[in-house]
């Protein structure tokens, strides 16, 4: 049985000079049983400026020859002229309507008008080397991205049925509002810890790095690498949030596949964080996986085999990646995240002044003042999957 080692790891800050970096070459990657490993070591010491340079410089002395920047694919196509295809499709009325419905299905709504503004078309990138992988750069509009940030903080995290990595160690306030109290609020350790006993911490430390993930729908068990049950409408398989279902079911029209969201792991990344290579194999369904990026930029790895150099994709806020077909069970991970790379429409937005305040507690409303600053150093990834065959 294949395992799924998808633990979030922190890496050291960028404090190593170029001469200290062990540069992975294509021949080195191909000769390794784990071709992901040298790439993780390489990106660990790569500054954002260096990463940005590599995305635009084919044939540079550093061989990242499987690196793809979806909005500047020329570099990749020069090195792999027959691999990549780009198709342009018009946005459908159903998709535009799904964005509107997503807003009104959300518990707290941004007051920015009744209709999302989309470009006339969107791009779909596919690759022969990773069949079934589909990349949709920048497909989510800024207002939808902002609404998702708020939903994660105010709708998905607070629910008692959505477990986080913090629950086994701490006595979290219920409902759990990440910004509902001052940063120096003491969070006591659990009186019945299910992992190693923790010491008291502060709400600020949870915001900064301690919060790693929250599970929606089927409550994936990170210890056993399994879902505790496949029986819907139970405590361990609660109903999936209506707002996120509304968005993804509407978006399925452009993906050309029906998406039945039943579980999601939302990861919270900070600067330098990585996600180790793994396969998502715990579900009974082989339906597509949908990955949504918000906030800071990262490099995403994906390959059909662990012993071959993976595709490296630059991911930005608003991008969606779909793993279907042969890529559904591909090895994938995150090479690292760079802080201060989130778009202005997330970090410069006044989350407090642009909301409809009905039925929102005062402490939650005041906490919104900190959302933009928080997103300056965060990447949120919503990885959505279908658990059951039907």
Contact between residue 267 and residue 293 where contact means Cβ atoms under 8 Å apart? no
In angstroms, the CA 158 to CA 29 distance is 43
Query: Residue 315: which of 301, 297, 336 has the closest Cα?
Result: 297
The reply to whether 369 falls in a domain is yes
Q: Quick check: is 201 in a domain?
A: no
Compute the distance between CA of residue 315 and CA of residue 326 in angstroms, rounded to an integer. Answer: 21
Per-residue CA distances from 151 to 204, 242, 245 (Å) = 20, 11, 12
pLDDT score for 110: 80
pLDDT tens track, the chain, 390 positions: 333 333 333 332 333 233 333 333 343 444 458 889 999 999 998 999 999 999 988 666 456 889 999 999 998 999 999 999 999 988 877 788 888 889 889 988 887 544 556 778 899 999 999 999 999 999 999 999 999 999 999 999 999 999 999 999 999 998 999 999 999 999 999 887 777 767 999 999 999 999 999 999 999 998 899 999 999 999 999 999 999 999 988 777 676 677 799 999 999 999 999 999 999 999 999 999 999 999 999 999 999 999 999 999 999 999 999 999 999 999 999 999 999 999 999 999 999 877 765 566 777 878 899 999 999 999 999 999 999 987
Assigned domain for 181 exists = no
Calpha distance 140→118 (Å, rounded): 8
Report the first-to-last Cα separation within the chain, whole angstroms: 23
53-71 burial, b at 16+ Cβ within 10 Å, e below that, comes to: ebbeeeeeebbbbbbbbbe
Is 174 inside any structural domain? no
Looking at residue 352, its pLDDT comes to 85
Q: Is 293 inside a domain boundary? A: yes
For residue 272, the domain's CATH number is 2.60.120.590
Map tokens 């002395």 to a residue.
61
CA 245 to chain centre: 16
242 CB neighbour count, 10 Å cutoff:
14
- Tell me the residue range of the domain where 88 lies: 8-165+212-385
Do 312 and 66 contact (CB within 8 A), yes or no?
A: yes
Tokens 């992901």 locate to 36
On whether the CB atoms of residues 296 and 270 are closer than 8 A, the answer is no
- Residue 193 belongs to some domain of the structure: no
With respect to residue 191, please indicate whether it lies within any of the assigned structural domains.
Answer: no
Beta strands per DSSP E along the chain: 8-9, 67-68, 84-90, 121-127, 133-136, 186-187, 201-202, 213-217, 263-269, 274-278, 289-295, 298-303, 311-315, 320-323, 331-337, 379-385
Q: What does the DSSP 8-state code read for residue 327?
A: G
Q: How many domains in the chain?
A: 1
Answer yes or no: is 199 within a domain: no
């Amino acid at each position: 049985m294949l395992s799924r080692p998808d633990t979030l790891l922190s890496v050291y800050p960028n404090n190593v000079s170029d001469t200290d970096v062990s540069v992975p070459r294509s021949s080195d990657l191909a000769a390794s049983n784990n071709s992901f490993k040298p790439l993780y070591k390489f990106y660990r010491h790569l500054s954002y400026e260096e990463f940005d340079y590599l995305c635009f410089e084919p044939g540079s002395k550093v061989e990242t020859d499987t690196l793809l920047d979806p909005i500047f694919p020329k570099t990749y196509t020069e090195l792999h002229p027959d691999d990549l295809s780009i198709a342009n499709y018009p946005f459908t009325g159903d998709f535009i309507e799904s964005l509107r419905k997503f807003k009104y299905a959300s518990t707290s709504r941004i007051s920015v008008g009744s209709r999302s503004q989309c470009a006339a078309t969107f791009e779909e990138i596919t690759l022969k080397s990773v069949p079934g992988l589909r990349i949709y750069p920048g497909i989510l509009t800024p207002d939808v991205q902002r609404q998702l940030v708020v939903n994660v903080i105010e709708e998905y995290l607070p629910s008692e049925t959505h477990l986080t990595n913090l629950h086994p160690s701490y006595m979290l306030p219920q409902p759990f509002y990440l910004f509902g109290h001052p940063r120096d609020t003491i969070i006591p350790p659990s009186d019945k810890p299910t992992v190693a006993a923790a010491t008291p911490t502060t709400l600020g430390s949870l915001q900064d790095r301690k919060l790693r993930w929250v599970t929606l729908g089927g409550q994936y068990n990170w210890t056993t690498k399994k879902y505790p049950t496949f029986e819907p409408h139970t405590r361990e398989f609660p109903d999936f949030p209506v707002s996120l279902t509304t968005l993804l079911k509407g978006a399925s029209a452009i993906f050309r596949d029906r998406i039945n969201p039943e579980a999601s792991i939302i990861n919270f990344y900070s600067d330098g964080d990585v996600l180790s290579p793994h396969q998502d194999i715990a579900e009974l369904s082989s339906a597509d996986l949908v990955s949504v990026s918000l906030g800071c930029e990262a490099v995403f790895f994906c390959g059909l085999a662990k012993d071959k150099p993976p595709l490296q994709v630059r991911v930005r806020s608003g991008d969606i990646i779909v793993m279907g077909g042969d890529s559904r069970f591909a090895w994938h991970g995150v090479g690292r995240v760079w802080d201060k790379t989130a778009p202005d429409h997330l970090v410069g937005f006044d989350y407090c002044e642009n909301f409809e305040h009905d039925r929102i507690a005062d402490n939650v409303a005041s906490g919104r003042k900190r959302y933009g600053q928080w997103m300056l150093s965060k990447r949120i990834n919503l990885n959505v999957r279908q658990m059951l065959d039907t």
